Amino acid sequence: MNEALRVASLPEGVEGPAFLRTGEIVDIRVLRPSDLPVVERFLREVSDESRATRFFGAVRSDVVADRMLRAGERDDRLQLVVTPVGRPDGPILAHAEYVRDAPGAAGAEVAFLVADALHGRGIATILLMRLVRAATPIGVETFHAQVLADNDRMLEVFRDSGFPTTSTFTDEGISVSLRIDRPPLTELCLLPTAPAPA
């Protein structure tokens, strides 16, 4: 799919500015094929611990960046990145994606990676809600993720999302499932987007 058409087909509120818990404003947009250099830099600069938590082990940043940029059609996969406000070309501050279990499937796997210096500012929560906005209109009903048992931050993001959530222990950690087609149990899903800078 042409990148411009892909972006144009997104629901309103998926891309655009967002408020962090600290009051800072960041920009969220779709990952672009031209992002390879900034994605590689982002992956190099996150800590080994964060990288291992996201990818379940040691990985080469160049290999992962190349894999991330092999984006499928929007219905099957969507990747979002966070950049400083007014700087759409980077640096990248966070990355999130959903990948449908199969073409047209009602379930999709989600994953997040946030720059270490920005942990605890609500970026993963905002990205989760943006992915929900994109996924539910095209028939995705469930998000699921495999999370390491000691990844308390990510487990908290899912638990506090307001969506009905189930968790199961597995050999790899904890398998979490969110019913995003059900009304959220809190107002968190209604997080406002930030106004565009003047």
Would you place residue 140 in the very low, low, confident or very high pLDDT band (cuts 50, 70, 90)? Answer: very high
Distance CA 115, CA 50 (A): 8
Q: Is 148 buried (19+), middle (13-18) or exposed (0-12) by CB count in 10 A?
A: middle
**Residues ≥6 apart with Cβ < 8 Å to 135:** 78, 98, 108, 143, 180
- What mean pLDDT comes out for the span 128-150? 93
Q: Map out the domains of the chain with their CATH numbers.
A: 3-190 (3.40.630.30)
126 three-class SS: helix
2 three-class SS: coil
Distance CA 188, CA 156 (A): 13
Would you place residue 131 in the very low, low, confident or very high pLDDT band (cuts 50, 70, 90)? Answer: very high
Distance CA 19, CA 29 (A): 14
- What mean pLDDT comes out for the span 55-79? 66
Query: What is the token pair recorded at 165?
Result: 């959530």
What's the pLDDT tens digit per position in 159-182?
989 899 999 998 888 999 999 987
Query: What is the token pair recorded at 117?
Result: 């210096």
Query: What is the token pair recorded at 98?
Result: 């959903």
What's the pLDDT tens digit per position in 88-99?
887 999 999 999
Cβ neighbours of 83 (radius 10 Å) = 19
Q: Identify each DSSP E strand in the chain by its residue range.
A: 16-19, 25-30, 77-84, 94-100, 107-114, 142-147, 165-170, 173-179
45 with 95: CB under 8 angstroms? no
pTM as predicted: 0.84
Would you place residue 5 in the very low, low, confident or very high pLDDT band (cuts 50, 70, 90)? Answer: very low
Q: Which residues face 174 on adjacent strands? A: 147, 169
